[in-house]
Structure 1
Amino acid sequence: MEATTAVPSAAPAAPAAMPPATAPRRRRGMAPLEPVSPRARWLLGLGFFVLFFAVWAAFTLGGFVPPTFLASPVTMVKEGYGLFTGFNFIHDIGMTVWRVVGGFVLAAIVAVPLGIAMGAYKPIEAFFEPFVSFCRYLPASAFIPLLILWAGIGEAQKLLVIFIGSVFQITLMVAVTVGGARRDLVEAAYTLGANSRGIVARVLIPGAAPGIAETLRLVLGWAWTYVIVAELIGSSSGIGHMITDSQALLNTGQIIFGIIVIGVIGLVSDFVFKFVNRRLFAWSTL
Protein backbone atom coordinates (compact mmCIF):
# COMPACT_ATOMS: atom_id res chain seq x y z
CA MET A 1 0.00 0.00 0.00
CA GLU A 2 1.05 3.44 -0.76
CA ALA A 3 1.74 5.41 2.39
CA THR A 4 0.01 8.68 2.59
CA THR A 5 1.28 11.53 4.63
CA ALA A 6 -1.15 14.01 5.96
CA VAL A 7 -0.19 17.53 5.20
CA PRO A 8 -1.35 19.78 7.98
CA SER A 9 -3.53 22.53 6.69
CA ALA A 10 -2.26 26.01 7.27
CA ALA A 11 -4.04 27.78 10.09
CA PRO A 12 -5.88 30.91 9.02
CA ALA A 13 -3.80 33.99 9.61
CA ALA A 14 -4.93 36.04 12.53
CA PRO A 15 -6.21 39.41 11.47
CA ALA A 16 -3.71 42.20 12.03
CA ALA A 17 -4.38 44.14 15.15
CA MET A 18 -5.92 47.44 14.27
CA PRO A 19 -4.69 50.43 16.22
CA PRO A 20 -7.33 51.74 18.53
CA ALA A 21 -9.18 54.61 17.02
CA THR A 22 -8.42 57.86 18.74
CA ALA A 23 -10.95 60.58 18.64
CA PRO A 24 -9.53 63.79 17.25
CA ARG A 25 -9.03 66.44 19.87
CA ARG A 26 -11.46 69.25 19.43
CA ARG A 27 -10.31 72.81 19.74
CA ARG A 28 -11.83 74.41 22.79
CA GLY A 29 -12.11 78.15 22.53
CA MET A 30 -13.77 78.89 25.86
CA ALA A 31 -12.94 76.09 28.29
CA PRO A 32 -11.96 76.50 31.95
CA LEU A 33 -8.20 77.03 32.35
CA GLU A 34 -7.64 76.62 28.62
CA PRO A 35 -4.65 78.86 27.70
CA VAL A 36 -4.67 81.33 24.87
CA SER A 37 -1.81 82.24 22.60
CA PRO A 38 0.17 85.44 23.24
CA ARG A 39 -1.17 86.91 20.01
CA ALA A 40 -4.77 86.20 21.02
CA ARG A 41 -4.13 87.68 24.46
CA TRP A 42 -2.86 90.92 22.95
CA LEU A 43 -5.75 91.12 20.50
CA LEU A 44 -8.36 90.47 23.19
CA GLY A 45 -6.83 93.05 25.52
CA LEU A 46 -6.64 95.63 22.75
CA GLY A 47 -10.18 94.80 21.71
CA PHE A 48 -11.53 95.72 25.13
CA PHE A 49 -9.89 99.17 24.96
CA VAL A 50 -11.30 99.72 21.47
CA LEU A 51 -14.77 98.76 22.67
CA PHE A 52 -14.46 100.95 25.75
CA PHE A 53 -13.48 104.05 23.78
CA ALA A 54 -16.16 103.34 21.17
CA VAL A 55 -18.90 103.24 23.83
CA TRP A 56 -17.46 106.33 25.49
CA ALA A 57 -17.42 108.22 22.19
CA ALA A 58 -20.94 107.09 21.35
CA PHE A 59 -22.38 108.40 24.62
CA THR A 60 -20.47 111.71 24.66
CA LEU A 61 -20.36 112.65 20.97
CA GLY A 62 -23.94 111.47 20.56
CA GLY A 63 -25.14 113.97 23.14
CA PHE A 64 -26.39 111.43 25.68
CA VAL A 65 -24.10 112.82 28.42
CA PRO A 66 -23.49 116.56 28.99
CA PRO A 67 -19.82 117.56 28.47
CA THR A 68 -19.78 119.12 31.95
CA PHE A 69 -20.11 115.66 33.47
CA LEU A 70 -18.08 113.65 30.96
CA ALA A 71 -15.84 114.99 28.21
CA SER A 72 -15.58 113.16 24.91
CA PRO A 73 -12.39 111.33 23.86
CA VAL A 74 -11.67 114.09 21.34
CA THR A 75 -11.97 116.81 24.01
CA MET A 76 -9.85 114.75 26.39
CA VAL A 77 -7.04 114.48 23.83
CA LYS A 78 -7.17 118.24 23.14
CA GLU A 79 -7.04 119.05 26.85
CA GLY A 80 -4.16 116.64 27.34
CA TYR A 81 -2.22 118.28 24.53
CA GLY A 82 -2.85 121.63 26.17
CA LEU A 83 -1.53 120.35 29.49
CA PHE A 84 1.78 119.36 27.92
CA THR A 85 2.20 122.50 25.81
CA GLY A 86 0.86 125.14 28.17
CA PHE A 87 1.12 123.87 31.73
CA ASN A 88 4.35 121.81 31.83
CA PHE A 89 2.45 118.63 32.67
CA ILE A 90 5.58 116.54 32.15
CA HIS A 91 6.91 118.09 35.38
CA ASP A 92 3.80 116.96 37.25
CA ILE A 93 4.22 113.43 35.90
CA GLY A 94 7.88 113.38 36.95
CA MET A 95 7.03 114.54 40.48
CA THR A 96 4.34 111.89 40.89
CA VAL A 97 6.60 109.11 39.61
CA TRP A 98 9.37 110.24 41.93
CA ARG A 99 7.03 110.16 44.93
CA VAL A 100 5.71 106.71 44.09
CA VAL A 101 9.17 105.24 43.51
CA GLY A 102 10.66 106.92 46.59
CA GLY A 103 7.96 105.88 49.03
CA PHE A 104 7.68 102.39 47.56
CA VAL A 105 11.43 101.73 47.67
CA LEU A 106 11.59 102.88 51.29
CA ALA A 107 8.72 100.55 52.16
CA ALA A 108 10.37 97.62 50.36
CA ILE A 109 13.71 98.20 52.11
CA VAL A 110 11.98 97.88 55.48
CA ALA A 111 9.27 95.35 54.68
CA VAL A 112 11.11 92.68 52.68
CA PRO A 113 13.76 91.83 55.34
CA LEU A 114 11.14 92.01 58.11
CA GLY A 115 8.77 89.78 56.15
CA ILE A 116 11.54 87.24 55.49
CA ALA A 117 12.40 87.18 59.20
CA MET A 118 8.75 86.72 60.15
CA GLY A 119 8.26 83.92 57.65
CA ALA A 120 11.44 82.10 58.63
CA TYR A 121 11.33 82.44 62.42
CA LYS A 122 8.04 81.83 64.20
CA PRO A 123 8.94 83.78 67.39
CA ILE A 124 9.57 86.89 65.28
CA GLU A 125 6.28 86.30 63.49
CA ALA A 126 4.42 85.94 66.79
CA PHE A 127 5.94 89.23 67.98
CA PHE A 128 5.25 91.36 64.90
CA GLU A 129 2.26 89.76 63.20
CA PRO A 130 -0.55 91.19 65.42
CA PHE A 131 0.76 94.74 65.03
CA VAL A 132 1.36 94.39 61.28
CA SER A 133 -2.10 92.90 60.75
CA PHE A 134 -3.64 95.71 62.77
CA CYS A 135 -1.86 98.43 60.79
CA ARG A 136 -2.64 96.74 57.48
CA TYR A 137 -6.29 97.68 57.85
CA LEU A 138 -5.62 101.35 58.62
CA PRO A 139 -6.20 103.57 55.56
CA ALA A 140 -3.13 105.56 54.65
CA SER A 141 -5.26 108.62 53.95
CA ALA A 142 -6.28 108.73 57.62
CA PHE A 143 -2.66 109.54 58.54
CA ILE A 144 -2.47 112.62 56.30
CA PRO A 145 -3.56 115.15 58.98
CA LEU A 146 -0.99 113.76 61.42
CA LEU A 147 1.72 113.59 58.78
CA ILE A 148 1.10 117.21 57.84
CA LEU A 149 1.60 118.14 61.51
CA TRP A 150 4.73 116.01 61.80
CA ALA A 151 6.38 116.56 58.40
CA GLY A 152 4.61 119.58 56.90
CA ILE A 153 3.22 119.61 53.36
CA GLY A 154 6.51 118.96 51.58
CA GLU A 155 7.83 115.83 49.92
CA ALA A 156 8.43 113.99 53.20
CA GLN A 157 4.71 113.93 53.96
CA LYS A 158 3.86 112.42 50.56
CA LEU A 159 6.61 109.82 50.79
CA LEU A 160 5.38 108.83 54.24
CA VAL A 161 1.82 108.35 53.00
CA ILE A 162 3.04 105.91 50.36
CA PHE A 163 5.39 104.26 52.86
CA ILE A 164 2.61 103.68 55.41
CA GLY A 165 0.23 102.43 52.76
CA SER A 166 2.75 99.92 51.37
CA VAL A 167 5.04 98.72 54.15
CA PHE A 168 2.54 96.65 56.15
CA GLN A 169 1.03 95.04 53.06
CA ILE A 170 4.45 94.00 51.76
CA THR A 171 5.58 92.72 55.16
CA LEU A 172 2.64 90.39 55.67
CA MET A 173 2.56 89.10 52.10
CA VAL A 174 6.31 88.39 52.11
CA ALA A 175 6.00 86.60 55.46
CA VAL A 176 3.23 84.37 54.08
CA THR A 177 5.28 83.61 50.96
CA VAL A 178 8.43 82.69 52.89
CA GLY A 179 6.48 80.72 55.50
CA GLY A 180 4.90 78.58 52.80
CA ALA A 181 8.21 76.97 51.82
CA ARG A 182 8.24 73.23 51.21
CA ARG A 183 9.15 71.37 54.37
CA ASP A 184 10.84 68.53 52.47
CA LEU A 185 13.37 70.95 51.01
CA VAL A 186 14.12 72.32 54.46
CA GLU A 187 14.56 68.84 55.91
CA ALA A 188 16.78 67.83 53.00
CA ALA A 189 18.98 70.87 53.61
CA TYR A 190 19.30 69.98 57.29
CA THR A 191 20.22 66.43 56.30
CA LEU A 192 22.99 67.77 54.07
CA GLY A 193 24.42 69.74 57.00
CA ALA A 194 22.98 73.21 56.55
CA ASN A 195 22.52 75.39 59.61
CA SER A 196 19.65 77.80 60.31
CA ARG A 197 21.32 80.69 58.52
CA GLY A 198 22.04 78.51 55.51
CA ILE A 199 18.40 77.37 55.41
CA VAL A 200 17.23 80.97 55.16
CA ALA A 201 19.88 82.07 52.67
CA ARG A 202 19.94 79.03 50.38
CA VAL A 203 16.47 77.49 50.66
CA LEU A 204 13.82 79.92 51.89
CA ILE A 205 14.91 83.10 50.10
CA PRO A 206 15.62 81.51 46.66
CA GLY A 207 12.36 79.58 46.85
CA ALA A 208 10.33 82.63 47.83
CA ALA A 209 12.07 85.14 45.54
CA PRO A 210 9.56 84.85 42.64
CA GLY A 211 6.66 85.25 45.07
CA ILE A 212 8.31 88.25 46.72
CA ALA A 213 8.82 89.89 43.32
CA GLU A 214 5.16 89.29 42.48
CA THR A 215 4.15 90.83 45.81
CA LEU A 216 6.16 93.95 45.03
CA ARG A 217 4.50 94.18 41.63
CA LEU A 218 1.03 94.04 43.15
CA VAL A 219 1.69 96.51 45.95
CA LEU A 220 3.25 98.98 43.52
CA GLY A 221 -0.22 99.33 41.98
CA TRP A 222 -1.64 100.22 45.40
CA ALA A 223 1.09 102.81 45.91
CA TRP A 224 -0.31 104.79 42.96
CA THR A 225 -3.62 105.18 44.76
CA TYR A 226 -1.86 106.50 47.86
CA VAL A 227 0.17 109.12 45.98
CA ILE A 228 -2.90 110.64 44.37
CA VAL A 229 -4.55 110.93 47.78
CA ALA A 230 -1.40 112.55 49.16
CA GLU A 231 -1.28 115.04 46.26
CA LEU A 232 -4.89 116.08 46.67
CA ILE A 233 -4.03 117.91 49.91
CA GLY A 234 -1.36 120.58 50.26
CA SER A 235 0.46 119.94 46.99
CA SER A 236 1.64 122.37 44.33
CA SER A 237 2.70 119.79 41.74
CA GLY A 238 1.88 116.29 40.60
CA ILE A 239 -0.95 114.58 38.73
CA GLY A 240 -3.20 114.69 41.79
CA HIS A 241 -2.66 118.44 42.10
CA MET A 242 -3.61 118.87 38.43
CA ILE A 243 -6.78 116.80 38.94
CA THR A 244 -7.78 118.96 41.91
CA ASP A 245 -7.31 122.18 39.93
CA SER A 246 -9.26 120.74 37.00
CA GLN A 247 -12.11 119.75 39.29
CA ALA A 248 -12.42 123.33 40.50
CA LEU A 249 -12.73 124.45 36.86
CA LEU A 250 -15.17 121.62 35.94
CA ASN A 251 -12.70 120.53 33.27
CA THR A 252 -13.53 116.84 33.00
CA GLY A 253 -11.28 116.46 29.97
CA GLN A 254 -8.17 117.22 32.00
CA ILE A 255 -9.39 115.05 34.89
CA ILE A 256 -9.91 112.05 32.61
CA PHE A 257 -6.59 112.65 30.88
CA GLY A 258 -4.77 112.67 34.23
CA ILE A 259 -6.47 109.43 35.25
CA ILE A 260 -5.54 107.79 31.94
CA VAL A 261 -1.92 108.92 32.30
CA ILE A 262 -1.78 107.25 35.72
CA GLY A 263 -3.19 104.06 34.22
CA VAL A 264 -0.71 104.07 31.35
CA ILE A 265 2.28 104.61 33.65
CA GLY A 266 1.03 101.86 35.96
CA LEU A 267 0.51 99.50 33.03
CA VAL A 268 4.02 100.16 31.73
CA SER A 269 5.55 99.59 35.17
CA ASP A 270 3.54 96.37 35.47
CA PHE A 271 4.91 95.06 32.16
CA VAL A 272 8.44 96.04 33.23
CA PHE A 273 8.02 94.14 36.50
CA LYS A 274 6.76 91.06 34.68
CA PHE A 275 9.61 91.19 32.16
CA VAL A 276 12.27 91.55 34.88
CA ASN A 277 10.69 88.78 36.95
CA ARG A 278 10.73 86.39 33.99
CA ARG A 279 14.39 87.19 33.39
CA LEU A 280 15.47 86.84 37.01
CA PHE A 281 13.29 83.88 37.98
CA ALA A 282 12.90 81.89 34.79
CA TRP A 283 12.36 78.64 36.70
CA SER A 284 9.17 79.96 38.30
CA THR A 285 7.34 79.92 34.93
CA LEU A 286 8.08 76.28 34.19
Structure 2
Amino acid sequence: MSQSSSAVEKPRAEDLPCVFSTIASKYSKLSLRPCETKESQTWRHADTPTTTNWLKLYVDYMPKLNFYLYLHSICEKHFNQVISTNHFHRHLLDNPAFKNKRLRFNASSDSPTSTYNSNTREEINELYLETSHIRNYEHTITILQQQLQEQENRELTMITEFQRNIENQEQVILKLRRQLEERQEVIVNLKGLLSDEVDRNEELVKHWDSRYSNQDKRIQVVTDIALIERNFLYENRKKEFVLVFTIREVQIGPKQRGFLVLKGIVLKMFQIHDLKRKTGTRF
Protein backbone atom coordinates (compact mmCIF):
# COMPACT_ATOMS: atom_id res chain seq x y z
CA MET A 1 0.00 0.00 0.00
CA SER A 2 2.83 2.41 0.74
CA GLN A 3 4.32 1.80 -2.70
CA SER A 4 0.97 2.49 -4.39
CA SER A 5 0.50 5.70 -2.44
CA SER A 6 3.96 6.97 -3.31
CA ALA A 7 3.44 6.04 -6.97
CA VAL A 8 0.48 8.49 -7.30
CA GLU A 9 1.82 11.20 -5.02
CA LYS A 10 1.43 14.70 -6.44
CA PRO A 11 4.68 15.84 -8.09
CA ARG A 12 6.55 18.88 -6.87
CA ALA A 13 5.79 22.21 -8.54
CA GLU A 14 9.40 22.66 -9.71
CA ASP A 15 9.18 19.31 -11.52
CA LEU A 16 6.21 20.45 -13.67
CA PRO A 17 6.32 22.80 -16.69
CA CYS A 18 4.98 26.31 -16.39
CA VAL A 19 1.45 26.69 -17.76
CA PHE A 20 2.69 29.59 -19.94
CA SER A 21 5.87 27.86 -21.15
CA THR A 22 4.44 26.78 -24.52
CA ILE A 23 2.40 29.92 -25.27
CA ALA A 24 4.62 32.75 -24.01
CA SER A 25 6.16 33.27 -27.46
CA LYS A 26 2.74 33.14 -29.17
CA TYR A 27 1.34 35.91 -26.98
CA SER A 28 4.46 38.02 -26.69
CA LYS A 29 2.59 40.83 -28.50
CA LEU A 30 0.29 40.98 -25.48
CA SER A 31 3.39 41.74 -23.36
CA LEU A 32 3.38 38.21 -21.92
CA ARG A 33 6.94 37.70 -20.79
CA PRO A 34 8.90 34.43 -21.18
CA CYS A 35 9.31 32.06 -18.26
CA GLU A 36 11.78 32.70 -15.48
CA THR A 37 15.02 30.77 -16.03
CA LYS A 38 16.93 31.40 -12.82
CA GLU A 39 17.46 28.38 -10.60
CA SER A 40 16.55 30.01 -7.29
CA GLN A 41 12.90 30.90 -7.77
CA THR A 42 9.57 30.03 -6.21
CA TRP A 43 7.40 27.55 -8.11
CA ARG A 44 3.69 27.09 -7.42
CA HIS A 45 1.15 24.54 -8.56
CA ALA A 46 -1.16 25.88 -11.26
CA ASP A 47 -4.29 24.11 -9.95
CA THR A 48 -4.57 26.07 -6.70
CA PRO A 49 -7.91 27.93 -6.27
CA THR A 50 -6.34 31.39 -6.49
CA THR A 51 -4.38 30.62 -9.64
CA THR A 52 -7.35 28.86 -11.25
CA ASN A 53 -9.68 31.83 -10.64
CA TRP A 54 -7.20 34.24 -12.17
CA LEU A 55 -6.53 32.04 -15.18
CA LYS A 56 -10.27 31.98 -15.95
CA LEU A 57 -10.01 35.66 -16.85
CA TYR A 58 -7.53 34.97 -19.67
CA VAL A 59 -9.39 32.24 -21.56
CA ASP A 60 -10.81 34.69 -24.12
CA TYR A 61 -7.49 36.44 -24.61
CA MET A 62 -5.30 33.35 -24.83
CA PRO A 63 -7.27 30.39 -26.28
CA LYS A 64 -4.08 28.29 -26.31
CA LEU A 65 -3.94 28.41 -22.53
CA ASN A 66 -3.72 24.82 -21.29
CA PHE A 67 -6.23 23.97 -18.60
CA TYR A 68 -4.70 20.64 -17.60
CA LEU A 69 -3.62 22.61 -14.58
CA TYR A 70 -2.80 19.63 -12.39
CA LEU A 71 -0.02 18.79 -14.85
CA HIS A 72 1.47 22.29 -14.74
CA SER A 73 2.99 24.79 -12.38
CA ILE A 74 3.56 28.53 -12.66
CA CYS A 75 6.97 30.12 -12.54
CA GLU A 76 7.83 33.10 -10.37
CA LYS A 77 7.86 35.64 -13.23
CA HIS A 78 4.42 34.71 -14.56
CA PHE A 79 2.98 34.52 -11.06
CA ASN A 80 4.14 38.08 -10.42
CA GLN A 81 2.93 39.31 -13.83
CA VAL A 82 -0.41 37.50 -14.15
CA ILE A 83 -1.58 36.33 -10.72
CA SER A 84 -0.27 38.51 -7.90
CA THR A 85 -1.48 41.80 -9.47
CA ASN A 86 -4.15 42.81 -11.99
CA HIS A 87 -1.81 44.97 -14.10
CA PHE A 88 -1.63 42.45 -16.92
CA HIS A 89 -5.38 41.98 -16.84
CA ARG A 90 -5.94 45.75 -17.02
CA HIS A 91 -3.45 45.89 -19.87
CA LEU A 92 -5.54 43.39 -21.83
CA LEU A 93 -8.73 45.29 -21.08
CA ASP A 94 -7.17 48.49 -22.40
CA ASN A 95 -5.97 46.76 -25.56
CA PRO A 96 -8.12 47.91 -28.55
CA ALA A 97 -7.90 44.43 -30.05
CA PHE A 98 -10.10 43.15 -27.20
CA LYS A 99 -12.64 45.98 -27.25
CA ASN A 100 -15.60 43.60 -27.66
CA LYS A 101 -14.43 41.46 -24.74
CA ARG A 102 -14.29 44.49 -22.47
CA LEU A 103 -18.06 44.34 -21.94
CA ARG A 104 -17.59 41.14 -19.99
CA PHE A 105 -15.59 42.89 -17.27
CA ASN A 106 -17.52 46.21 -17.23
CA ALA A 107 -19.52 45.84 -14.03
CA SER A 108 -20.94 49.40 -14.24
CA SER A 109 -22.60 48.93 -17.66
CA ASP A 110 -26.40 49.20 -17.63
CA SER A 111 -26.87 47.74 -21.12
CA PRO A 112 -29.03 44.58 -21.02
CA THR A 113 -27.16 43.30 -24.03
CA SER A 114 -23.80 43.69 -22.37
CA THR A 115 -25.12 42.13 -19.19
CA TYR A 116 -26.59 39.25 -21.16
CA ASN A 117 -23.39 38.78 -23.14
CA SER A 118 -21.35 38.98 -19.98
CA ASN A 119 -23.50 36.39 -18.21
CA THR A 120 -23.49 34.13 -21.25
CA ARG A 121 -19.74 34.43 -21.56
CA GLU A 122 -19.34 33.66 -17.88
CA GLU A 123 -21.52 30.57 -18.20
CA ILE A 124 -19.57 29.42 -21.24
CA ASN A 125 -16.31 29.96 -19.40
CA GLU A 126 -17.60 28.12 -16.36
CA LEU A 127 -18.79 25.26 -18.55
CA TYR A 128 -15.47 25.19 -20.33
CA LEU A 129 -13.60 25.09 -17.04
CA GLU A 130 -15.87 22.37 -15.67
CA THR A 131 -15.35 20.35 -18.84
CA SER A 132 -11.62 20.88 -18.54
CA HIS A 133 -11.71 19.75 -14.93
CA ILE A 134 -13.71 16.67 -15.86
CA ARG A 135 -11.20 15.84 -18.56
CA ASN A 136 -8.42 16.43 -16.08
CA TYR A 137 -10.06 14.09 -13.60
CA GLU A 138 -10.65 11.46 -16.27
CA HIS A 139 -7.06 11.75 -17.37
CA THR A 140 -5.92 11.51 -13.76
CA ILE A 141 -8.09 8.43 -13.21
CA THR A 142 -6.66 6.83 -16.35
CA ILE A 143 -3.11 7.53 -15.18
CA LEU A 144 -3.91 6.16 -11.72
CA GLN A 145 -5.44 3.03 -13.22
CA GLN A 146 -2.38 2.50 -15.38
CA GLN A 147 -0.09 3.03 -12.42
CA LEU A 148 -2.13 0.66 -10.26
CA GLN A 149 -2.12 -1.95 -13.03
CA GLU A 150 1.64 -1.61 -13.43
CA GLN A 151 2.07 -1.85 -9.67
CA GLU A 152 -0.14 -4.95 -9.58
CA ASN A 153 1.86 -6.54 -12.41
CA ARG A 154 5.11 -5.80 -10.57
CA GLU A 155 3.75 -7.29 -7.37
CA LEU A 156 2.52 -10.40 -9.20
CA THR A 157 5.95 -10.77 -10.78
CA MET A 158 7.59 -10.42 -7.38
CA ILE A 159 5.21 -12.98 -5.87
CA THR A 160 5.95 -15.41 -8.70
CA GLU A 161 9.69 -14.96 -8.18
CA PHE A 162 9.29 -15.44 -4.42
CA GLN A 163 7.33 -18.65 -4.98
CA ARG A 164 9.98 -19.92 -7.39
CA ASN A 165 12.73 -19.07 -4.91
CA ILE A 166 10.82 -20.82 -2.12
CA GLU A 167 10.46 -23.96 -4.25
CA ASN A 168 14.17 -23.90 -5.06
CA GLN A 169 15.01 -23.43 -1.39
CA GLU A 170 12.76 -26.36 -0.46
CA GLN A 171 14.61 -28.57 -2.96
CA VAL A 172 17.95 -27.45 -1.54
CA ILE A 173 16.75 -28.07 2.03
CA LEU A 174 15.50 -31.56 1.08
CA LYS A 175 18.84 -32.40 -0.53
CA LEU A 176 20.77 -31.11 2.48
CA ARG A 177 18.49 -33.08 4.81
CA ARG A 178 19.25 -36.32 2.93
CA GLN A 179 22.97 -35.57 3.06
CA LEU A 180 22.70 -34.87 6.78
CA GLU A 181 20.95 -38.21 7.38
CA GLU A 182 23.68 -40.01 5.43
CA ARG A 183 26.38 -38.24 7.44
CA GLN A 184 24.62 -39.11 10.69
CA GLU A 185 24.48 -42.77 9.66
CA VAL A 186 28.21 -42.72 8.86
CA ILE A 187 28.90 -41.08 12.23
CA VAL A 188 26.88 -43.79 14.04
CA ASN A 189 28.86 -46.52 12.24
CA LEU A 190 32.15 -44.84 13.06
CA LYS A 191 31.12 -44.52 16.69
CA GLY A 192 30.35 -48.27 16.76
CA LEU A 193 33.74 -49.10 15.24
CA LEU A 194 35.46 -46.73 17.64
CA SER A 195 33.69 -48.33 20.59
CA ASP A 196 34.78 -51.81 19.43
CA GLU A 197 38.37 -50.65 18.99
CA VAL A 198 38.35 -49.02 22.42
CA ASP A 199 37.06 -52.24 24.01
CA ARG A 200 39.66 -54.30 22.16
CA ASN A 201 42.41 -51.92 23.15
CA GLU A 202 41.31 -51.98 26.78
CA GLU A 203 41.33 -55.78 26.68
CA LEU A 204 44.84 -55.80 25.23
CA VAL A 205 46.05 -53.29 27.80
CA LYS A 206 44.47 -55.33 30.56
CA HIS A 207 46.03 -58.51 29.23
CA TRP A 208 49.42 -56.83 28.87
CA ASP A 209 49.28 -55.36 32.36
CA SER A 210 48.36 -58.74 33.87
CA ARG A 211 50.98 -60.89 32.06
CA TYR A 212 53.13 -61.08 35.23
CA SER A 213 50.30 -60.89 37.76
CA ASN A 214 50.83 -64.42 39.22
CA GLN A 215 53.41 -67.21 39.35
CA ASP A 216 51.78 -69.42 36.72
CA LYS A 217 51.88 -66.63 34.15
CA ARG A 218 55.48 -65.86 34.94
CA ILE A 219 56.38 -69.56 34.59
CA GLN A 220 54.48 -69.70 31.30
CA VAL A 221 56.40 -66.70 29.97
CA VAL A 222 59.72 -68.29 30.94
CA THR A 223 58.62 -71.58 29.35
CA ASP A 224 57.63 -69.81 26.12
CA ILE A 225 61.00 -68.09 25.99
CA ALA A 226 62.79 -71.41 26.60
CA LEU A 227 60.80 -73.08 23.84
CA ILE A 228 61.69 -70.30 21.46
CA GLU A 229 65.36 -70.69 22.33
CA ARG A 230 65.10 -74.47 22.05
CA ASN A 231 63.46 -74.27 18.64
CA PHE A 232 66.14 -71.89 17.51
CA LEU A 233 68.88 -74.27 18.68
CA TYR A 234 67.03 -77.22 17.16
CA GLU A 235 66.83 -75.54 13.77
CA ASN A 236 70.53 -74.75 13.89
CA ARG A 237 71.40 -78.32 14.93
CA LYS A 238 69.17 -79.72 12.20
CA LYS A 239 70.93 -77.62 9.60
CA GLU A 240 74.32 -78.76 10.94
CA PHE A 241 73.35 -82.48 10.78
CA VAL A 242 72.01 -82.12 7.26
CA LEU A 243 75.19 -80.37 6.21
CA VAL A 244 77.42 -83.01 7.86
CA PHE A 245 75.52 -85.91 6.32
CA THR A 246 75.63 -84.27 2.94
CA ILE A 247 79.39 -83.78 3.14
CA ARG A 248 79.94 -87.30 4.49
CA GLU A 249 77.79 -88.81 1.78
CA VAL A 250 79.88 -87.09 -0.82
CA GLN A 251 83.08 -88.36 0.79
CA ILE A 252 82.21 -92.07 1.35
CA GLY A 253 79.49 -92.48 -1.23
CA PRO A 254 75.84 -93.40 -0.82
CA LYS A 255 76.36 -97.20 -0.75
CA GLN A 256 77.66 -97.52 2.84
CA ARG A 257 74.87 -99.35 4.68
CA GLY A 258 75.68 -98.14 8.18
CA PHE A 259 75.82 -94.54 7.07
CA LEU A 260 72.48 -94.80 5.35
CA VAL A 261 70.87 -96.35 8.46
CA LEU A 262 72.26 -93.60 10.69
CA LYS A 263 71.10 -90.95 8.27
CA GLY A 264 67.62 -92.45 8.19
CA ILE A 265 67.42 -92.57 12.00
CA VAL A 266 68.49 -88.96 12.38
CA LEU A 267 66.09 -87.72 9.71
CA LYS A 268 63.28 -89.72 11.33
CA MET A 269 64.01 -88.06 14.66
CA PHE A 270 63.83 -84.68 13.01
CA GLN A 271 60.49 -85.56 11.41
CA ILE A 272 59.06 -86.72 14.75
CA HIS A 273 60.28 -83.56 16.39
CA ASP A 274 58.72 -81.39 13.68
CA LEU A 275 55.42 -83.25 14.02
CA LYS A 276 55.36 -82.69 17.78
CA ARG A 277 56.05 -79.01 17.27
CA LYS A 278 53.15 -78.68 14.85
CA THR A 279 50.72 -80.57 17.12
CA GLY A 280 51.88 -78.78 20.27
CA THR A 281 53.00 -81.96 22.05
CA ARG A 282 55.42 -81.36 24.91
CA PHE A 283 58.72 -83.29 24.81
The verdict on a shared fold, with TM-score over 0.5 as the criterion, is no
Q: What's the TM-score once normalised by structure 2's chain length?
A: 0.21
Q: Tell me which structure has the larger Cα radius of gyration.
A: 2
Q: Which has the higher contact order (CA 8 A, sep 6+)?
A: 1
